[in-house]
Structure formats: structure tokens, C-alpha cells
């Protein structure tokens, strides 16, 4: 049965955003981090590229702002972009002081900065080609050493708990129901502040670069408790995921193209120059659509990314992770091109938040990929995501530290009631619905969309939602069911946002509305229980 646990701050998610926030909460406050896997199990650990920040004397913050807004296709919030970029160098220096082993130049005096698509300067601080592992590892070490932080691995947040607030018409977040995955028992966690840092929802799609946990949990939980959601139609498809029957979701970092790798058709010819003046360094949405177009035109299962014209020493030193992973599949990138396909990679929209990461529900914050800050607009520029995680996590921590002394103590939360549900003997329903959902999202709400495809997706999602909700109401919960429940919710929101946008902008491309609207507006969906 349930067991109440009280904290000052409850963080749902253990990626770079959640870890950063935990380390910035004052030590006198009790913090809990819930991770549905291990601390190394999320998308942050897998991030290859780096963190964008103006650290070179030849670069400027104005240039970084301009590049971000150009990539965002007119939909970025100017104040959010400036806020993140201006705090970029400080965020990078905080990571350096936290012990992150970033790659240095050959002279060992300065850090090596690389350039990625959309950036006009070299401004990507990186740790070889496994920056996420280096950053996450350093932060995990500090979190585990902190006396005020409790880490709970293999715990899955089911739903947030809200209560009335005597000083506001808005509901107040008071904690969450959480499944202990190992014991399969549901516990109650009470908290003065709850922070959603659960990552994105790319597992809505059949092909993705993301780990299995990217099921949109934070977005779905926030929606169910009255938070508005924005711009979920902007799903970034990474142009280059490894195409191999045994490679589940291995991403080939954009930094390869930044260092001169070229895209080739099966006959060996290049093609990106026909789609954009920057060729391989065009924004990701342009590159993904170009690859998708050429694959469909030729009927090819994949295209190729080639860096074999570079020296063996350069490739192995600069991209050891990519080299080793490809060698596991007998692909020697020193000699041969890499077979690639586009795959769902990053969720640009999410839970609407202000500049301190506050959502529409009091004492509920959202940071990282599950939040919509306005930084990315209609398309995220490479390596801005880790930067956003750190800047907004620190801003949210500052707000929490200020407000905790005045925060109303939550009332008691009733125990989880599962007296009327059964153990399921029909688990095949979950796997079947999961597969159906991800296939029609790929086919109908993928890189190129139409009104007819979105209409088909709406019809399918309506049936699936009813079936999954009925199943949820009658059987004991487990991780697979909870993830499917969240995925169908977020997929429905993606479709709603896509239907609202009657233009092609950034990552949303529809054949029925190929032109850009004169006015750039967010696609905001509002729940029935919005205060």
C-alpha cells in the first residue's frame, strides 16, 4: 500500500535539467529526484554534440541570438532567446567548474569549439562526441554526494496531485502518485514544489534516436492537471540515425557534418546543394526533408553519410564513440560511408512556462525538453538544448529558493486506491496498441503532412484513447501501461497542434499549406480544467 514521503522539492526526471536544478536548491531544503530508470538511463546521457555558448572572442551573443531566431523560423520568443544566450557563458563555466572534461585544442590551452548546422561560428563546447555522458556523469557524482538530495531510481510518476490554494484561483501542485517499479507498489510523495524534467515524446514515432523512456510523461501529466501545451507539432527529426537492422536508435551526431562529412545518394553523388545554400550544414528540418524526399524519389531504404575523405587519425580522435559503435555493426567509417535514415529526435514544444519555468499550476515547474520556453520556436538549433536545460534549471531553482519560505504546506493526500482493479491477463493489448500508435504517427504525422493524413490520425487516436483509458481503469498499473497512456495523450496533443497550424513553418511541413503565414503564432491547446 501507499507510503507518504514529504519533500520540499520533488524532481520528476534525472537528466541534465533535473540534476542541475537539484544542485542549485539550497542545501537546507529536502530534494528528491525520481528516475524511472537509472540516473544514466535518459536522453541526456546519449547526447553527442555539445553545449552552445559564446566563448570565442570572434563570436558574439548577438550572432548566437540571430542564428537561433533564424533556425526558429520566426516563432522564437525574443526574450527567451536573449535570456538563454546571455546566460550561456556562465552556464558553460559552471559545467567546467563542476568537473566536466570538455575537449581542448591540441595546445591544451583553450577548449575546442566545433560548428554545427545553423550556427554561423564555432561555439559548440563538447567532450569528444559523447558530451551528454561527460556532463551527466559529472553532475551525477555531485548529486550522489549531496546530503539533502534523495535519489529514487526505478520509480515512475503516475500522476500529479493538485489541491485548492487559499490565495489563488489556480490549483496548487502538492505532490505525485509514484509507482515503485521493482515492488509494483504505488506510493504518495508530498512536496511544496514539483519540477517536471521528464524529457520529450519521440517514442510517439516508429523510428527515433531516443531511449525507450522518451514517452512524454511530464507533458501528459501536466495536461491532465490543467496546464496549457504549445507547439507540439514541431517534432525535430534528426537527419542521420544509423540504418541497420540491429541498431535500435543510434544517432550519428551532427558534428560529423560540422567537420566535413557529406551526404550521398546510393550512387555516391551529393545532393544537399540542390536543397540549401549551406548544403550539409543547413538546418536540421531542411536536411531531414531532403533525405526523406530523395529516399521516396529513389525508393531507397536509406542514404549515406561519408567522412572517409578525412584522415583515420582525425576520425578516431574526434569521433571515437561513433567509430566504435559503427564498428560493432562492421561499418568502418574510416573507409566506408554510414547508412542513415531520419528519425524522431527532439520535441520542440511542450508545457507552457514563463522565464522562471513556472507552469499554469502553482508550485509546478517544467524544465528541459518537456517545457516550451519559446527558445526553439519552430525548429531547435543544434546544441541549444543542453544550454536551455541548464539556464532554465538554474532560473527555476532561484524561484524555488525564494518562494519556499512563503509556500503553502500541502494538505494530506489520500492513498492510491486499487481495490477495484485486477491483474491483467491481456498484456498483448498494450504491445499491439503501442505498435499501432507509433506506426500511424510515423505515417500520418511524420516529416511531411497533409490534411488527409492528419484526419486519419485523428480517427485512429480517438479509438485508441478510449481503449487505453478503459484498460487503465480496470487493471493494475505497470510501466508499460503508464507509458502507453502518456504516449497516446501526447500523440493526441501533437495532432491537435498540427491541425491548428495552417501553414508550413520550421519542422511542420504540410503539402496542403506549403507557404508561410504572414503572422507567426504559437499553437496553444488548453485543457478543459484550465484555471
Give the confidence band of 254 by pLDDT, cuts at 50, 70, 90. confident
Q: Please state the rounded mean pLDDT for residues 410-436.
A: 84
In this predicted structure, the answer to whether residue 4 has a pLDDT above a threshold of 70 is no
Residue 169, C-alpha cell as written in the block: 484561483
Residue range 209-251, pLDDT digits in tens: 888 899 999 999 999 999 999 999 999 998 899 998 888 778 8
pLDDT of residue 1: 35
Is the pLDDT confidence value at 48 over 80?
no
Residue 184 is part of a domain; what is its CATH number? 3.50.50.60
For the record, the C-alpha cell of 330 comes out as: 562492421
Residues 400 and 470 grouped into a single domain? no
- Per annotation, catalytic residue among 284, 318, 438, 501: 284
Question: Cα(first)–Cα(last) distance of the chain, in Å?
Answer: 32
Whether residue 360 is found in the same domain as residue 335: no
Provide the domain count of the chain: 3
Q: Is residue 531 pLDDT above 80, yes or no?
A: no
Q: Cα–Cα distances in Å, from 371 out to 10, 232, 347, 353?
A: 17, 10, 9, 7
Dump pLDDT digits (tens) for 105-137. 887 778 999 988 789 999 999 998 789 899 999
pLDDT per residue over 378-395, tens digit each?
A: 999 889 999 999 999 999
Q: Residue 446's domain spans which residues?
A: 428-513
Which of the listed residues 292, 320, 345 is the one where a domain comes to its end?
345
pTM for this model (two decimals): 0.90
Same domain, 169 and 221: yes
Q: What is the DSSP string of 171-225?
A: EEEEEEEEEETTTTEEEEEEEEEEEE-----GGGSSSBSS-TT-S-HHHHHHHHT
Q: Which residue did the predictor score with more confidence, 165 or 190? A: 190
Q: Which of 54-58, 181-185, 420-424 has the lowest mean pLDDT?
A: 420-424
In this model, does residue 2 exceed pLDDT 50? no
| Nearest by Cα to 350 from 205, 221, 192, 501 | 221
What is the DSSP code string of 47-111? --S-EE---STT--HHHHHHHHHHHTTT-S-HHHHHHHHHTHHHHHHHHHHTT----B-TTSSSB
Residues with Cβ < 8 Å from 163, sequence gap 6 or more? 171, 172, 174, 410, 411
Please check whether residue 32 lies inside any domain of the structure.
yes
Q: CATH number of the domain that 303 lies in?
A: 3.90.700.10
% the chain with pLDDT above 70: 99
For cell 512563503, what's the residue? 406
Active site residue 284: yes
Amino acid at each position: 500500500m501507499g507510503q507518504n514521503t514529504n519533500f520540499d522539492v520533488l524532481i520528476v526526471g534525472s537528466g541534465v535539467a533535473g540534476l542541475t536544478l537539484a544542485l542549485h536548491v539550497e542545501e537546507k531544503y529536502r530534494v528528491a529526484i525520481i528516475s524511472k530508470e537509472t540516473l544514466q538511463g535518459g536522453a541526456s546521457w546519449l547526447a553527442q554534440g555539445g553545449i552552445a555558448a559564446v566563448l570565442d572572442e570572434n563570436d558574439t551573443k548577438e550572432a548566437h541570438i540571430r542564428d537561433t531566431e533564424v533556425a526558429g523560423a520566426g516563432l522564437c520568443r525574443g526574450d527567451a532567446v536573449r535570456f538563454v544566450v546571455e546566460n550561456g557563458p556562465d552556464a558553460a563555466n559552471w559545467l567546467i567548474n563542476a568537473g566536466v572534461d570538455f575537449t581542448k585544442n591540441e595546445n591544451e590551452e583553450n577548449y575546442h569549439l566545433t560548428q554545427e548546422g545553423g550556427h554561423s561560428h564555432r561555439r559548440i563546447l563538447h567532450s569528444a562526441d559523447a558530451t551528454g555522458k561527460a556532463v551527466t556523469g559529472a553532475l551525477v557524482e555531485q548529486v550522489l554526494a549531496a546530503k539533502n538530495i534523495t535519489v529514487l531510481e526505478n520509480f515512475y510518476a503516475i500522476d500529479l496531485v493538485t489541491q485548492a490554494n487559499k490565495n489563488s484561483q489556480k490549483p496548487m501542485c502538492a505532490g505525485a502518485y509514484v509507482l515503485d517499479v521493482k515492488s509494483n507498489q504505488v506510493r504518495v510523495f508530498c512536496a511544496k514544489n514539483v519540477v517536471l524534467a521528464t524529457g520529450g515524446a519521440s517514442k510517439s514515432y516508429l523510428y527515433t534516436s531516443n531511449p525507450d523512456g522518451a514517452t512524454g510523461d511530464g507533458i501528459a501529466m501536466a495536461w491532465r492537471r490543467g496546464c496549457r501545451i504549445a507547439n507540439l507539432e514541431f517534432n525535430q527529426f534528426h537527419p542521420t540515425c544509423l540504418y541497420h537492422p540491429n541498431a535500435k536508435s543510434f544517432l550519428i551526431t551532427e558534428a560529423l557534418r560540422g567537420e566535413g562529412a557529406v551526404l550521398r545518394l546510393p550512387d555516391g553523388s551529393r545532393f544537399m546543394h540542390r536543397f540549401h545554400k549551406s548544403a550539409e550544414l543547413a538546418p536540421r528540418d531542411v536536411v531531414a526533408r531532403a533525405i526523406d524526399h530523395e529516399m521516396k524519389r529513389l525508393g531507397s531504404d536509406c542514404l549515406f553519410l561519408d567522412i572517409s575523405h578525412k584522415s583515420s587519425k582525425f576520425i578516431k580522435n574526434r569521433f571515437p564513440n561513433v567509430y566504435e559503435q559503427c564498428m560493432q555493426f562492421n561499418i568502418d567509417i574510416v573507409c566506408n560511408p554510414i547508412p542513415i535514415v531520419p528519425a524522431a529526435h527532439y520535441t520542440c514544444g511542450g508545457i507552457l512556462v514563463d522565464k522562471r519555468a513556472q507552469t499554469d499550476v502553482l508550485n509546478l515547474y517544467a524544465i528541459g525538453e518537456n517545457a516550451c520556453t519559446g527558445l526553439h520556436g519552430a525548429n531547435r538549433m543544434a546544441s541549444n538544448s543542453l544550454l536551455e536545460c541548464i539556464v532554465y534549471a538554474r532560473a527555476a531553482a532561484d524561484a524555488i529558493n525564494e518562494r519556499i519560505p512563503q509556500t503553502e504546506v500541502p494538505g494530506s493526500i489520500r492513498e492510491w486506491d486499487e481495490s477495484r482493479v485486477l491483474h491483467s491477463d491481456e498484456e498483448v493489448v498494450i504491445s499491439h496498441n503501442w505498435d499501432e500508435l507509433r506506426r500511424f504517427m510515423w505515417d500520418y504525422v511524420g516529416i511531411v503532412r497533409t490534411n488527409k493524413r492528419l484526419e486519419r490520425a485523428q480517427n485512429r487516436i480517438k479509438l485508441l484513447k478510449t481503449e487505453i483509458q478503459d484498460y487503465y481503469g480496470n487493471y493494475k498499473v505497470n510501466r508499460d501501461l503508464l507509458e502507453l497512456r502518456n504516449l497516446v495523450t501526447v500523440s493526441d496533443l501533437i495532432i491537435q497542434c498540427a491541425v491548428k497550424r495552417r501553414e508550413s513553418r520550421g519542422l511542420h511541413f504540410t503539402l496542403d499549406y506549403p507557404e508561410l503565414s504572414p503572422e507567426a503564432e504559437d499553437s496553444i491547446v488548453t485543457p478543459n480544467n484550465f484555471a
